[in-house]
Structure 1
Amino acid sequence: MLSSIRFKFGSTVKQPPLEVQTPPSVTIFVGPNNSGKSQALRELVSVFRSGQTEGFCVVDDVSFDAIARDVAVNELKKIIVEPEPGAQKINGYVYINHYKEEMMHVPIVDFLNALQYPNSAEGRHRRNFSSYYLKNLVLALDGPSRIQLINPQERGDLKKPASVFARLFVDDEKRSALRKLVYDSTGLHFVLDASVGSHLHARFGSEAPPNERSLEEGTLDYMRDARGIESVSDGVKAFTGILLQLHVGQPRVITVDEPEAFLHPSLAFTLGKELAKGAVDEGKHVFASTHSAQFLMGAISSGAEVNIIRLTYQDGVGTARLLPSAELKVLMRDPLLRSVGVLEGLFFDCVVVGEANADRAFYQEINERLLAQNDGRAAPRTLFLNADNKQTIPRIIAPLRKLGIPTAGIVDIDVFKDGGAEWTKHLGAIGLPEGEYDAYASRRSTVFKALEAANKDFKTQGGITLLKGGDLEMAKNLLADLGRYGLFVVPRGEVEHWLMDLDVARSKNGWLRSIFEKMGSDPNSDGYVKPGIGDVWDFMGEISGWLKNRNRRGIPA
């Protein structure tokens, strides 16, 4: 039904607009707040219902699959209905009704042409495709609507079931399969109660039900004891309702804005997995925007093909990048990357990686204080992560950069002790051209020798301030060149030697607690440390400058 989506921009300003093929599957939009994820969903729903893209900000165009004439004829036959008494009858026109939507009086020729030529503006084919056909097969779910999906529904004529509940009620196989999905995730058995008036009601039992299609005493007793929808959480209602529409509902296209809303992380993971797998199994197109790493991991783990598109919007410039599933699986499966929450980086503008938890906490606090002062040296919408040590920083930086996420690393100056393969890992992770590896290896070695010649512990006793003359200039040049690629070496030696005017023991044990106590926690108190000139504040400004720079080096196009 849907062939492809073209966006208004690509992975960078210099790259062509992104175009993504969309066979029946899940397409997930990720990115920072205000990056266009929800807007993309709204625009897709709009074009599905109207065929028009005027005024769009994110989506440039959508292409649809042409439908063969014989299939189009069958599609028309499914929805032809008898006109109401007294309704006008015109030769060559028929009345159609999609699943109790508004009845339409349409020309047969126009309907068939629209399905055969859905991308053609000639004869209004594109508009007709949407208004006659596609718009009735689209379900757009927001927060309130998804928890109403399992409200009571008319039982109707079960010989010709119309409502979703009615179709599920007469399909033992699908009902059992859906019940198992819900039970495995919530511990509750989803059942349909036909014992109340003319409607079917959803209920949830703690035990498996007897034959719910009967009205025997055992079934009635079960329904009396089972919970009604008012007695279960919004998460259970939303989870059940979305899966119900996926596996039983008539919509061929489903959009869900923040599917993780109301859901426990484990339910979000399961929903992502079931939507990805179910979309392919049911031949449906599912579009979702999310801030949930759990939902995303569930979709990736399904084994189904998933389109994951990262959107960004900053200073009036948008980007759209299709993220390779193989790279995302690296983030999800690597124990180190998973343990430090690397996948969360997809939902921020930028990421900063420190050597250890103390580094992460300190630099994040420095950035927060800059943000609080509206200081231009701050890095807004930035996630701070920590590696296990400096040697593991490249394992975090490299995969995030491959996904187009600006990721800076902060290392203490003893990184210069690590030559050979360890040094090369840093250079490779930050995107330095391989042809320069030897030159940078030589520069590292020269600076390291100069630092050692100072006959002091250069990490704890001053860093590059121990150097003079040409040696100092050489070290500054190396730090500056590494900074151009987003690797920032602490010039004072190590994180513990920032803010030296504060009277704090500089040993690693207890340093973080002590420095935070000295910095203060109440912005209104006299002793509270606010951003100043130089020191770590300017260092963070250099990092922020690289993150904000659209022409930054080290990010693959």
Structure 2
Amino acid sequence: MAVSFHLKELRLSEGTIIEPPLDGMTVFTGPNNSGKSALLRELVTAIHHHPYDSGQEAHWVNSVQIHQSGDGEDLLAWLKERGREPRFDRSSGRSVIPGPSDHDQSGMDTDEFLSTWASGSVSSISYLLVNDQWTEGRLGNQTDSHVWNQSRPPSHPSQLLWDDKEAHLKFSNLFERAFGQPITINRYTPQIHLQIGSTGMEDTAPPAGPQLREAYAALPLLQQQGDGMRAFTNILLHTLVRPAPIIVIDEPEAFLHPPQARLLGRYLALHTPSPCQVFVATHSVDFLSGALEGNALLRKSSPKGLSLARISRKENEISAKTLNSESVRDILDNPLLRYSNIVSGLFHDGVILCEAEGDCHFYAATIDALRKSGQHENVTLLHVNGKARLADAAHKLRTCGIPTAIIADLDYLNDENKLKEAVLLLGGDWNDIDAEMDYLRKHVSSSVTARPAAEVKKEIASIIGNARGRETLSKFQMEQITELLKTADGWKSLKVAGVSALIGDAHGAAKRILEYLARLGIFLVPVGELECWVREVPSGRKSVWLTRVFDEGHHERPSMELRDFTQAAMTYLSAA
């Protein structure tokens, strides 16, 4: 039986149970000061002192369940593979397992070591089972080592790269993709240093000739490089090169530019050896996006999982929501969600989803006008490129514990299937509005208007202008003419005129539907569509309209109706 050691269950103090993938990554997200780093530290303490009593000092971790398997012989074989086999200590006349310092004189009695493993108490041997990487130690020299007694396997990751040229090449290729230069190791010196660049020469049998020595001497040491390069390499080395069964990394994005943070997330998801559990606390949407991309690439060839846990803290109350591996796969199966900025919502206290980027800009400006000098809410506006994925994205964000609202144009009512899906996904019951929707649909659909030919001809002429000869129409002109030739049905008129164009029972039905949807967090524009909020600016191409709205300062003086509408969405988020 092979040795196995992993975290089976993490129970938080407020009751949430997290079941991390047995082979893969668990990512903790949340706003600043929510307690992500504190949770990781308590998790490490709980593992190091398993079986664990949370005591009075723990705020996050109530208990952990550890799974371990393998007998004493299996454990000794596992240790030997890692250069940690028992050694005879002459001073004590005992067989000892090398300690964290990797000196023969330091270590734990072998029989005591095996007894500890068999008892399930791992506190004295946890340094072999858990590798925790904290921001404050990220820039320390974790890559240098020394040439060891090569009758034994290497025990340090750099020793393994020294010993295994194939592993060295793989690691160097990953580094070069990030920083444009390979990693080189001088195998002719007693100390093992990672160096940047290439000698341009083949290694020879020792001793090295003068030219090769000079070439190695000219290469800069990794430890003399910038903070970002050292931080990136320290994480990569101790996670990808024969890692401990459990890896804990706090803020892996620290010291990194966004592209490197994204690449690091991808690398850890793609290349961490199996089996290994990686626990990460991050503020970085770039790191999280990279991890999602890497996990998506693995799905057809590897069973590795990725789960998300969002934690938050308001005053003295803490809470956590999880998105397990199966739910994360739903995101990975949708490239629009995977490659969009939707995942950035995990780092905010609330999200408003819109159809398009321009909508986000407009409503963000309105929120700023409402806020003025008041408290800044940690709310972000994100878009999903149309109406089709609004409800699905909102549902996934809510599953992670993020209050989420939707703002969409009034014609969202025109697609009954999508609207019904949204109502069900976001906690409603279609039967609550089925009768009103049926009445409104029949009323609006019965109204079809065909425009007089002379009027259509006049408007086409105004679009074409003074074109002559072989002059072709622009794309925008063709779009305008296509839109003009469409028959104006009731839904189109409703989108332009808004709910106020309805009278009698139809108006009452529409108002009740909008009020019901608002209670679910779906806010439909009552004036019709985005451009109808500022009718002084001619509608047409949204980007042109939006530019004029901002250039002319209309966003600084929103109408009372727009203020009330936007404030309703914000109030929904704060109450959720």
Q: Settle same-fold status: TM greater than 0.5.
A: yes
TM-score by length of 2: 0.75
Q: 1:438 to 1:257 in 2, by over 3 A?
A: same
Query: Once the 2 structures are TM-superposed, how far is the Cα of residue 362 of structure 1 from its aligned partner?
Result: 1.1
Query: Once the 2 structures are TM-superposed, how far is the Cα of residue 150 of structure 1 from its aligned partner?
Result: 5.0
Cα separation, 1, equivalents of 2:366 and 2:225: 44
> Does 2:197 align with 1:205?
yes
Structure 2 equivalent of residue 3 of structure 1: 7
Which deviations, in whole Å up to 9, do the C-alpha atoms of 1:479-528 show, x marking residues without a partner?
A: 1101111111122223334377xx6556646332333345489xxxxxx6
SS at structure 2 position matched to 1:27: strand
1:169 to 162, 170, 183: 162
Structure 2 equivalent of residue 123 of structure 1: none
Q: 1:519 to 1:116 in 2, by over 3 A?
A: farther
1:193 to 183, 186, 198: 186
1:145 to 137, 141, 163: 137
> Does 2:369 align with 1:362?
no
Structure 2 equivalent of residue 490 of structure 1: 525
The total of aligned residue pairs comes to 513
Structure 1 equivalent of residue 466 of structure 2: none
Q: 1:26 to 1:188 in 2, by over 3 A?
A: same
- Structure 1: segments with no counterpart, 5+ residues: 11-15, 119-125, 522-527, 551-557
Which deviations, in whole Å up to 9, do the C-alpha atoms of 1:290-335 show, x marking residues without a partner?
A: 2233332244233342232222314344443332445434434535
Which deviations, in whole Å up to 9, do the C-alpha atoms of 1:384-427 show, x marking residues without a partner?
A: 122433455345435444555433211222333x1443443443
Which deviations, in whole Å up to 9, do the C-alpha atoms of 1:347-368 show, x marking residues without a partner?
A: 3333212222221101112223
Cα separation, 2, equivalents of 1:27 and 1:426: 29
The letter for the 1-side match of 2:194 is A
The question of whether the paired residues in 1 share the 8 Å contact of 2:310 and 2:400 is answered with no
Structure 2 equivalent of residue 408 of structure 1: 405
Cα separation, 1, equivalents of 2:158 and 2:204: 13
Larger CA deviation: 210-219 vs 353-362: 210-219
Structure 2 equivalent of residue 308 of structure 1: 307
Structure 1 equivalent of residue 565 of structure 2: 539
> Does 2:506 align with 1:511?
no
The question of whether the paired residues in 2 share the 8 Å contact of 1:49 and 1:134 is answered with yes
Cα separation, 2, equivalents of 1:546 and 1:106: 59
Structure 1 equivalent of residue 426 of structure 2: 430
Cα separation, 2, equivalents of 1:9 and 1:548: 24
Q: 1:468 to 1:520 in 2, by over 3 A?
A: closer
Q: 1:219 to 1:61 in 2, by over 3 A?
A: farther
- Structure 2: segments with no counterpart, 5+ residues: 450-488
Cα separation, 1, equivalents of 2:107 and 2:337: 57
Q: 1:236 to 1:535 in 2, by over 3 A?
A: same
> Does 2:43 align with 1:17?
no
Structure 2 equivalent of residue 100 of structure 1: 101
The letter for the 2-side match of 1:514 is R
Q: 1:215 to 1:146 in 2, by over 3 A?
A: farther
Which deviations, in whole Å up to 9, do the C-alpha atoms of 1:24-75 show, x marking residues without a partner?
A: 4322223333333222211112223333433222222112224444247737
Larger CA deviation: 29-38 vs 69-78: 69-78
SS at structure 2 position matched to 1:480: helix
Cα separation, 2, equivalents of 1:358 and 1:251: 47
The question of whether the paired residues in 1 share the 8 Å contact of 2:242 and 2:273 is answered with no
Structure 1 equivalent of residue 417 of structure 2: 421
Cα separation, 2, equivalents of 1:175 and 1:146: 22
Structure 1 equivalent of residue 321 of structure 2: 321
Q: 1:487 to 1:22 in 2, by over 3 A?
A: closer
Q: 1:56 to 1:518 in 2, by over 3 A?
A: farther
1:179 to 172, 193, 201: 172
Which deviations, in whole Å up to 9, do the C-alpha atoms of 1:140-178 show, x marking residues without a partner?
A: 223353343555333344444554433432233322332
> Does 2:379 align with 1:382?
yes
Identity of aligned residues (%): 24
Query: Once the 2 structures are TM-superposed, how far is the Cα of residue 452 of structure 1 from its aligned partner?
Result: 8.8
Cα separation, 1, equivalents of 2:141 and 2:256: 15
Q: 1:206 to 1:371 in 2, by over 3 A?
A: farther
Cα separation, 2, equivalents of 1:457 and 1:421: 21
Larger CA deviation: 300-309 vs 228-237: 228-237
Structure 1 equivalent of residue 574 of structure 2: 548
Q: 1:239 to 1:279 in 2, by over 3 A?
A: same
SS at structure 1 position matched to 2:166: helix
Cα separation, 1, equivalents of 2:340 and 2:18: 32
SS at structure 1 position matched to 2:252: coil
Cα separation, 1, equivalents of 2:280 and 2:205: 35
SS at structure 2 position matched to 1:34: coil
The letter for the 1-side match of 2:277 is H
> Does 2:237 align with 1:244?
yes
The letter for the 2-side match of 1:117 is S
The letter for the 2-side match of 1:512 is L
The question of whether the paired residues in 2 share the 8 Å contact of 1:205 and 1:225 is answered with no
The question of whether the paired residues in 2 share the 8 Å contact of 1:155 and 1:163 is answered with no
> Does 2:292 align with 1:297?
yes
Cα separation, 2, equivalents of 1:332 and 1:473: 42
Q: 1:183 to 1:212 in 2, by over 3 A?
A: farther
Query: Once the 2 structures are TM-superposed, how far is the Cα of residue 223 of structure 1 from its aligned partner?
Result: 0.9
Structure 1 equivalent of residue 346 of structure 2: 346
TM-score by length of 1: 0.78
The question of whether the paired residues in 2 share the 8 Å contact of 1:235 and 1:262 is answered with yes
SS at structure 2 position matched to 1:388: coil
Query: Once the 2 structures are TM-superposed, how far is the Cα of residue 203 of structure 1 from its aligned partner?
Result: 0.8
The question of whether the paired residues in 2 share the 8 Å contact of 1:265 and 1:294 is answered with no
The letter for the 1-side match of 2:12 is K
Query: Once the 2 structures are TM-superposed, how far is the Cα of residue 189 of structure 1 from its aligned partner?
Result: 1.9
The letter for the 2-side match of 1:50 is H
Cα separation, 1, equivalents of 2:363 and 2:204: 59
Cα separation, 1, equivalents of 2:342 and 2:66: 36
Q: 1:190 to 1:337 in 2, by over 3 A?
A: same
Query: Once the 2 structures are TM-superposed, how far is the Cα of residue 83 of structure 1 from its aligned partner?
Result: 5.4
Q: 1:76 to 1:255 in 2, by over 3 A?
A: closer
Q: 1:167 to 1:280 in 2, by over 3 A?
A: closer
